């Protein structure tokens, strides 16, 4: 707390000096702290003022000049920044910070090959610097060079096995290279070496899920949850696996656990409702679809599922009422299609036509929707609309026999 107060006092004293025009003494470390503060909050004007003041007392100081190069880069004055960095490299040989800033500039300007060469120079100074290795990984990824990105991320993990960024990067590289078996083997070896890594177990579980090895996935997720009983992602994944296994009541249990860990989400409510629905508990499902909609009125999947249940139960009027609410708050092609079908069931032909037309305006021309609308145009004697709709549909689906038959009157 004392250090924080000291920092605040330094900043206040500097700003007072700027406002009053009086000169106060600051030692080198204080000036560096002031400059760093203003760079951090993005106030480059005051950062430059601090640099100019510092230059008068500590002209030619390497750290101050390095801050100059950093601000120039942040202000997109890349050539000036690179010129200054070249001078600094001559003054102080093998300074990692200079190379890192230079590489950052090359990366920002999409000169990724140059960024890689610069980072490799920095790596010669400190071969075990995981920050450099992680930056190298990213640069290789920019170039879609997944093999070298994987090598860099694995090397970073070798020097720091707890480096989560490197772990995620390595798994991503395996994915990009489509090395599924190697990815699983890598993660299995990783959790053997780092058995207390909940992230490692979670990533391994995701790989098992992708391969539909659900029992293995559950065991991995149990380890992740045992290590961190607040690990939200692990609970979601476990519930997801249990749903696939048809164990709906257990899936509901784990989705509900997430509600106690973080704020309720429409995602959780929706999946709880889905599991209730698949378990044949429609009343409970309806309640949780409604909770999802309450959390996010734009959650169209919950609207659609709610309307479908009501329709299956023969509650057409209630389904229609909810459809009308849905298209006001979350208008989607799917919801307009559902609304149209419900309207058709109660013989509201004109309203059905309007709903189908809105559906087609909001997305692609779906053949079933086109055919239904064409029939209704024909019923209403709208010959030109009938013809125009089918001609447009034929352009998009030239091989559709259904459209051809409809046009020929079969």
Asked if 223 and 201 touch (Cβ cutoff 8 Å), the reply is yes
Structural domains present in the chain: 273-360 (1.25.40.10), 364-410 (no CATH)
Across residues 334-362, what is the average pLDDT?
96
Model confidence over 187-239: pLDDT tens digits? Answer: 999 999 999 999 999 999 999 999 999 999 999 999 999 999 999 999 999 99
DSSP H or E segment with residue 324: helix 316-329
pLDDT of residue 407: 86
Judge whether residue 143 has pLDDT over 70: yes
Across residues 371-375, what is the average pLDDT?
94
User: What percent of the chain is modeled with pLDDT above 90?
Assistant: 91
For residue 138, the SS3 value is helix
| Nearest to 46, CA basis, from 80, 78, 76, 19 | 19
Could you tell me which residues come within 8 angstroms of residue 407 by beta carbon, excluding any fewer than 6 positions away? Answer: 390, 394
* DSSP, res 279: T
| Nearest-angstrom CA–CA distance, 285 and 274 | 7
DSSP H or E segment with residue 325: helix 316-329
Across residues 89-116, what is the average pLDDT?
95
Judge whether residue 1 has pLDDT over 50: no
What is the average pLDDT value for the chain, to the nearest integer? 95
Model confidence over 240-253: pLDDT tens digits? Answer: 999 999 999 999 99
């Amino acid at each position: 707390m004392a250090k924080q107060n000291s920092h605040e006092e330094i900043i206040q004293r500097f700003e007072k000096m700027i406002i009053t025009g009086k000169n106060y003494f600051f030692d080198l470390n204080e000036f560096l702290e002031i400059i760093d503060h203003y760079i951090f909050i993005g106030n480059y004007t005051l950062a430059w003022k601090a640099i100019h003041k510092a230059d008068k007392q500590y002209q030619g100081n390497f750290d101050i000049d390095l801050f100059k190069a950093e601000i120039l880069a942040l202000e997109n004055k890349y050539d000036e920044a690179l010129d200054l960095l070249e001078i600094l490299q001559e003054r102080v040989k093998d300074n990692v910070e200079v190379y890192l800033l230079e590489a950052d500039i090359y990366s920002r300007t999409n000169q990724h090959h140059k960024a890689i060469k610069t980072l490799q120079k920095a790596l010669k100074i400190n071969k075990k610097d995981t920050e450099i290795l992680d930056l190298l990984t990213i640069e290789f990824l920019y170039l879609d060079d997944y093999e070298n990105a994987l090598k860099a991320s694995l090397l970073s993990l070798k020097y720091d096995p707890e480096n989560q960024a490197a772990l995620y990067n390595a798994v991503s590289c395996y994915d990009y290279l489509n090395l599924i078996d190697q990815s699983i083997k890598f993660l299995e070896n990783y959790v053997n070496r780092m058995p207390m890594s909940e992230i490692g177990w979670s990533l391994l579980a995701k790989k098992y899920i992708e391969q539909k090895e659900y029992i293995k996935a559950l065991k991995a997720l149990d380890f992740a949850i045992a290590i961190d009983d607040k690990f939200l992602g692990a609970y979601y994944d476990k519930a997801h696996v249990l749903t696939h296994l048809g164990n709906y009541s257990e899936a509901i249990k784990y989705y509900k656990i997430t509600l106690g860990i973080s704020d309720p989400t429409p995602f959780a409510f929706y999946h709880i409702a889905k599991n209730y629905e698949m378990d044949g508990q429609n009343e409970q499902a309806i309640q949780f679809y409604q909770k999802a909609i309450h959390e996010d009125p734009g959650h169209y999947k919950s609207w659609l599922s709610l309307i479908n249940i009501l329709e299956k139960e023969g509650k057409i009027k209630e389904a229609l009422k909810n459809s009308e609410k849905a298209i006001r708050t979350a208008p989607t092609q799917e919801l307009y299609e559902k609304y149209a079908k419900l309207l058709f069931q109660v013989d509201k032909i004109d309203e059905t036509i309007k709903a189908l037309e809105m559906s087609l305006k909001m997305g692609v021309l779906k053949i079933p929707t086109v055919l239904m609308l064409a029939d209704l145009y024909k019923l209403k004697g709208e010959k030109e609309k009938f013809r125009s709709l089918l001609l447009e549909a034929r352009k998009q689906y030239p091989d559709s026999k259904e459209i051809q038959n409809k046009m020929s009157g079969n």
